[in-house]
Structure 1
Amino acid sequence: MITLLALSGSLRAGSSNTVLLEAAALLAPPDLRITLYEGIGSLPHFNPDLDGDMPPESVRELRRRIGAADGLLISCPEYARGIPGSFKNALDWLVGSSEFPGKKVALFNASPRASEAQAALRLVLRTMSAEIVEEASITLPLLATRLEPKAMAREPGIAEPVVAALTAFARAIATPG
């Protein structure tokens, strides 16, 4: 069983990014399990002075979950042409961790207009030594659709590219090197 940890860059209730990740969990092939991490909003502001032998419990939990996952599925909105501060804060807590480098990542983008944030996110993730799986990274026009996860999963224009991306991601994770 391949396990993915899904991270939404949005804290907003009903975010199209979060709903997309929830729909992906419904559409996952039988050999793939996707779990949504919901603690980004509760992480403390990054402070290197707190990142010693005993970082805050919420940070340790995030790192444990990252370490236990075979890959990360990230969907992040664009705020003011960049990565939302709360999501960048979560990434900052992972910079010095041993769990993140080399982790395979697929990027799901819920808006074609979010190209600036996607470019910034790719730069940050590569700097952190993530392995972005391009064939598993997709952009879908979901802004203002207001669909629930089950409705997204039933919509062929959404479900088909999500399933194809998840299948490509599982293949990339299962293939060594």
Structure 2
Amino acid sequence: MIHILAISGSLSRFSKNTILLHAASKLAPEGIYIDVFGGLGELPPFNPDVESSPPQVIIDWRELLKKSDGLMIACPEYAHGVPGVLKNAFDWVVGSGEIMHKPIALINTTPSSKFAVPSLKETLTVMMGVVVPEASLVIPVAGNKFDEAGMMANQEISGMIMRSVEALAESIRKT
């Protein structure tokens, strides 16, 4: 069983990024389990003074990352950048290595966003994560009224989600 940890960079309950990841978890074929992480907002601000003995929530975060075979990250763009809450989550694992050599799909739901995904890709690459180009797609759902069921029912959108999941799974199988 392939275990993918899906992370939305948005805290909004109505985020297209989060909705897309939930759709991906339901569309995943047999043998692929996608766990959508919902605790991003619970992670405290990164503090190097407690990095070696972090709070339990950070220990749990690191363990989730460690146990996953790959990551699927849906990253919105805020003011031409990566959302602070998402960057903060990865700051907690820079020195501990949980994403080292881990295949990663970067998903963008807004075709007009140009800066956040390349910035996040750079951060993850420096951390030795492996961003999989074939799994990293722009899936244009922002601005549409798609809910989870709508994304799953739309052949174009569900097809793109499946291509991303399958490309990420293929990369995981090769590692």
**Aligned residue for 2:140?**
141
| Shift, 1:146, TM fit | 2.8
Paired letter, 1:170? A
Question: Residues of 2 paired with 1:132 and 1:3: CA distance?
Answer: 17
Question: Residues of 1 paired with 2:84 and 2:72: CA distance?
Answer: 19
| Shift, 1:132, TM fit | 0.5
| Shift, 1:161, TM fit | 1.1
**Aligned residue for 1:22?**
22
Q: TM-score, normalised by structure 2?
A: 0.97
Paired letter, 1:115? K
**Aligned residue for 1:40?**
40
**Aligned residue for 1:115?**
114
**Secondary structure of the corresponding residue to residue 73 of structure 2:** strand
1:31-63 deviation line (CA, Å, top 9, x unaligned) = 1000011111011110000111x2111111110
After the TM superposition, which of the residue ranges 98-107 and 13-22 deviates more from structure 2?
Answer: 98-107
Sequence identity of aligned pairs in percent?
40
Question: Residues of 2 paired with 1:44 and 1:73: CA distance?
Answer: 22
1:84-117 deviation line (CA, Å, top 9, x unaligned) = 1111110100101132211110111111112210
Question: Residues of 1 paired with 2:80 and 2:86: CA distance?
Answer: 14
* 1:76 to 2:75 alignment: yes
Answer yes or no: is the 8 Å Cα contact 2:97–2:127 preserved in 1: no
Q: State the Cα RMSD in Å.
A: 0.9
The unaligned stretches of length 5 or more in structure 1 are none
Aligned length: 175
Paired letter, 2:79? A
